[in-house]
Amino acid sequence: MSFSKQTIDHVDLHNKRVLIRVDFNVPLDDTCHITDDSRIRATLPTINWAIDDDAVVILCSHLGRPKGTANPALSLAPVAKRLQRLLNKPVAFTEDCIGPTAESVVKNAQPGDVILLENLRFHPGEEKNDDQFSAQLAALADVYINEAFGTAHRSHASTVGITKYVKVSAAGFLMKHEVETLEGTVENPVRPFVAILGGAKVSGKIEVIKNLTGKVDKVIIGGGMAFTFIKAMGFEIGLSLVENNMLDLAKKIHEQAIAQKIKFYLPVDCVVAASLSPEAETKIVTIQEIPPDWYGMDIGPASVRLFGEAVQNAKTILWNGPMGVFERDAFSRGTYAMAHSVANAYAYTVVGGGDTALAVHRAGESESMDFISTGGGAALQLLEGNHMPGLAALPDRPY
């Protein structure tokens, strides 16, 4: 699919102050060490393009959820150090993203310099899309580039408000690639096209399922959301996660898919736990034999085989959502097995960001996937066919 928005290669950056909204919301461990820098690496082509054009490159991002107050544990300082290594050049770091400190660093910067501003969400104006905060951010720049696909579904100051105050705006290369890949996968897939949907709740994926129904050849449902479908079929699911208000809709979706000749796969067995405690007893049971007071936590070995066989003849695979509570070792096997099956399929493989990207990374299969989205919620919104405020705020490409 062709990308309709103006992109960075359509605008003049030479000797300009270029503010790039990136998504450096990377995972940190207890010592503030970055455990996965793939989101940083994904922006390097855009950053280097601006550097090569002798722009003063100003990067801004959020990290975590500081809720409008400064939190040292969520500082972007570790990101500045990692970026410096990846670019192999100095990265200046400002202690604030607006105000005299940031303005002074930007004013003294030379063409080709790179500056990373402190966490945008240390200010309540960011998430409120506050006009004053947007204007202060915009004052730092001549050109604005949105490269943060992961926040394109949010109406924030750095994704929407700023475009009112900067004369020239455009999308970065990653933003363009994300949108083209996700939209193109759904609209023009090579068939057979298989969608794998997991995660906790049906309600979070309902619009995705509706949008994909009629476009896919097979749907595989796993994770907590599977138990809503299983209960809707009349089976006992014990204390497993369920959305009782979604039972009728789940049944309807299941029946419609079958009526449309779409192969609809649900787990046939699962790993259950006696309690939610990490030390709880676990066992493998068929879907028909879940004990009344046990919790379903992962797909079982028979489901792993069934799902694995279902993707083997696929030519396009879209995967969004884990198969179980993969963060805990006892319940990670289903998700990791799915990652291996998708990686080994002779297909074009698209992973829809968020928890799924993390699971693929932990399974050691990141390099085997054709495309891993940097945005979880944003990827979902795009797959639902919904409006993306951060994208809509950018000007259309001049033809």
Using an 8 Å Cβ cutoff, are 260 and 219 in contact?
no
> Considering 305, 377, 385, 397, which one is annotated as catalytic?
377
> Considering 82, 201, 263, 305, which one is annotated as catalytic?
201
- Give residue for tokens 């969520």: 74
- Give residue for tokens 């799902």: 307
Using an 8 Å Cβ cutoff, are 46 and 5 in contact?
no
Which letter, b or e, does each residue of 233-262 get, where b requires 16 or more Cβ atoms within 10 Å of its Cβ? eebebbbbbbbeebbebbbebbeebeeeeb
Which letter, b or e, does each residue of 360-375 get, where b requires 16 or more Cβ atoms within 10 Å of its Cβ? bbbbebbeebeebbbb
> Considering 354, 375, 376, 390, which one is annotated as catalytic?
354
Using an 8 Å Cβ cutoff, are 383 and 185 in contact?
no
**Per this entry, what is the length of the chain?**
399
164 an active-site residue? no
Residue 384 has which token pair? 């639902």
39 an active-site residue? yes
Element (H, E) at 58: strand 56-60
82 an active-site residue? no
If one counts every other C-beta atom within 10 angstroms of the C-beta of residue 297, the result is 23
Within 13 Å of residue 277, how many CA atoms lie on the same side as its CB? 5
3-state secondary structure of 22: coil
3-state secondary structure of 180: helix
* R_g of the chain computed on alpha carbons: 23
> Considering 39, 154, 176, 205, which one is annotated as catalytic?
39
Distance between CA 307 and CA 41 in Å, rounded?
32
Residue 210 has which token pair? 């509706």
Q: Give the residue numbers annotated as catalytic, written as ranges.
A: 39, 201, 354, 377
